[in-house]
Structure 1
Amino acid sequence: MSDSSPAAASASPACAPHRRALQRQTKRLATLPEAPWLHQEAARRLAAKLAPIRLQPKDWIDWSAFLGAGAELVQAQYPQAQRWVVEPSGELAQRSQAQLAQNAQRDWRKLWRREVPQAHVEPVPADAPWRRDGSDGAQMLWANMTLHASADLPGLMRRWYEHLAIDGFLMCSGLGPDTARELRAVYAALGWPLPTIDFIDMHDLGDELVQAGFADPVMDMERLTLTWETPEALLAELRTWGGNVAQGRFAGLRTPRWRARLLETLRERLMRPDGRLGLTVELVYGHAIKPTPRIKVEAEARVSLQDMKRMIRQGDKPG
């Protein structure tokens, strides 16, 4: 039996996930019949934060669309906007492509014109379709439950930045550091390697967004307590969230005796007064804007034609 626990990622190199393990987990998650319940719930809560935003995107990028579970929620908010799908792996892209084809069949106009959208695989080339007609990017990038699922979160944020238009905005979320704290305590008490790596803190998320070039980051977090009737049910649901991708995790298979000990310890340590087993989940949300680039004037300043056109359109001046 493998060591099952939530997948995690952090900006700290020492706590970063093992890239190959993350790829294996991503491939497995692509076989799920639908996005995990927790991802759907996080999408609902992230979508509720769109209401105060005045900008109405013409194009938006659905990053890690299948597991992100936000398509219907965002399309309800922006029914006229064009959705572009990006997936972190070929397996997830196939899942999303099948869904896009089904949607096109329901829309006879797209079927007649054979305008079936494509699910793009990360990394996305510079000439991505949302840059058509000279556009410098999409007006929104939606990345639900992605912050804990990347081996290079700073690099991922830089790519998000590149695919957004000036004044476009990012909506992202992921698991926070209090997630599965009870499970980590169980593993520590038994002397086992921790079952997750460190999830990114809300304040660290803001710092990472600024480092990637974003402006006016707004972070938020909330804690949920989920409960299960049995430890078997708890572990089964955690497996839909991902698996242990931490550096230094136990490399081999666990024995039935090990699993029995884990189940018994979970019953002892996680049992609540109502007879159910409880586990904390922390959801971290981020929102930020891609600002107009500022050109610093020196003795000799070079400005690209694209940046100059952008400044003229927006009335900007070199700073």
Structure 2
Amino acid sequence: MSEHLPPTIDPVAAARWQSAAPAASPWLHEEVARRMEGRLQWIRQAPAAWCHWEPVRGGLEGHALVAQRYPQAACAVYEHPAREAAAREALGAKWWARWRTAAPRFGLPEAASVHMLWSNMALHTAADPQALIAQWHRAIAVDGFLMFSCLGPDTVRELHALYRDLGWPPAGHALTDMHDWGDMLVQGGFAEPVVDMERITLTFATPQRALQELRELGVNLHPQRFAGLRGRGWRARLEQAMAQRLASPQHDGQIALTFEIVYGHAFKPAPRVRVEANSTISLQDMRAMLRERT
């Protein structure tokens, strides 16, 4: 695996961000959700039940698109406790009445209870992504599938280079390469992972607008980030450097930043247990193997 594989995330800072992140869906998250939803056209079997993992940050408009595609599917919603009230307000019974289907169930999905788990733009902020993937694997039924997206290592590469040139600590935590996500999915029990990426260039009229957008998307979780608060002088120096170095002639002199978007999906196969002199398997896996034989 690559050198960018976590842990490059401060778990304390990650937990703090999870609790303090705005209860809103950033524009980029909604755009990625729209593109990811378009990939569902290649899934032949519609899920009977699906789970949206943290929809408030992941994209409420994206949630509506998936709900429209699968109007007969039961829906479960897991949202971080800090934003669960916002999720209930946005996705409660009145909202779902427009689609003439049952209101979603809130809370952690039960084991093997959903046929699709949808996670948009969340995985790159997990301090322990393997543990999160294990949670998803537990929730998905055999032959169900995972759909996810996250940021890749080329994200805001221009800003990373600027910080290095100025002799500053890293501008953000290192992000995981798409090939490593594929490896982690297999290690987590998934099969046939398909992971790909695209780059999106966003432009901003001013450095101030670019920094505002970045604050809405997330924060620097790198363990070696600046240890304390910076003053107005530092902020002015950063804005001046961005205006001088990141203005793109190809984009009429606007600030241009690259975002690498990683998309992935994988299936949960029937469990295969190696039989030894003494073997222990879970009741869930035993039931799945018996269903596979019938």
TM over 0.5: yes
* Match 2:66 to one of 68, 74, 94: 74
What residue number does 1:63 align with? 53
Q: How does 1:104-115 map to 2 (within 5 A)?
A: 106=97
What residue number does 1:190 align with? 166
What residue number does 2:15 align with? 23
Structure 1 residues 276 and 107: CA distance shift in structure 2, 3 A? closer
Q: Is the 8 A contact 1:30 1:91 kept in 2?
A: no
Please report how far the alpha carbon of residue 119 of structure 1 lies from its aligned counterpart in structure 2 after TM superposition.
3.1
Deviations 1:14-34 (A, max 9, x none): x1x222322332333234xx3
Structure 1 residues 191 and 302: CA distance shift in structure 2, 3 A? closer
Q: Is the 8 A contact 2:170 2:224 kept in 1?
A: no
TM-score (ref. length: structure 2): 0.90
Structure 1 residues 163 and 103: CA distance shift in structure 2, 3 A? same
What residue number does 2:88 align with? 97
Deviations 1:99-130 (A, max 9, x none): 133635846988xxxx754432xxx3xxx4x5
- 1:283 matches 2:277: no
- 1:296 matches 2:270: no
Structure 1 residues 306 and 108: CA distance shift in structure 2, 3 A? closer
Amino acid at match of 2:254: R
Q: What runs of 5+ residues in structure 2 fail to find an aligned partner?
A: none
Let me know the Cα RMSD of the aligned residues.
2.2
1:219 and 1:267 map into 2 onto residues whose CA distance is 35
1:92 and 1:278 map into 2 onto residues whose CA distance is 31
Residues paired across the two proteins, number: 287
Please report how far the alpha carbon of residue 149 of structure 1 lies from its aligned counterpart in structure 2 after TM superposition.
1.5
1:272 and 1:315 map into 2 onto residues whose CA distance is 60
What residue number does 1:7 align with? none
Deviations 1:126-177 (A, max 9, x none): xx4x55xxxx321000011012111110110011101100011000110000
- 1:244 matches 2:231: no
Amino acid at match of 1:161: H
What residue number does 2:29 align with? 39
- 1:12 matches 2:6: yes
1:301 and 1:253 map into 2 onto residues whose CA distance is 54
- 1:147 matches 2:90: no
Structure 1 residues 104 and 179: CA distance shift in structure 2, 3 A? closer
Deviations 1:205-261 (A, max 9, x none): 100111111110000100011111100010001111011121121121111000000
SS, match of residue 60 in structure 1: strand
Please report how far the alpha carbon of residue 303 of structure 1 lies from its aligned counterpart in structure 2 after TM superposition.
5.5
SS, match of residue 97 in structure 1: helix
SS, match of residue 125 in structure 2: coil
TM-score (ref. length: structure 1): 0.84
Structure 1 residues 166 and 90: CA distance shift in structure 2, 3 A? same
2:113 and 2:65 map into 1 onto residues whose CA distance is 22
What residue number does 1:119 align with? 106
Q: How does 1:177-256 map to 2 (within 5 A)?
A: 177-256=153-232
Q: Which has the higher contact order (CA 8 A, sep 6+)?
A: 1
Please report how far the alpha carbon of residue 275 of structure 1 lies from its aligned counterpart in structure 2 after TM superposition.
1.2
SS, match of residue 201 in structure 2: strand
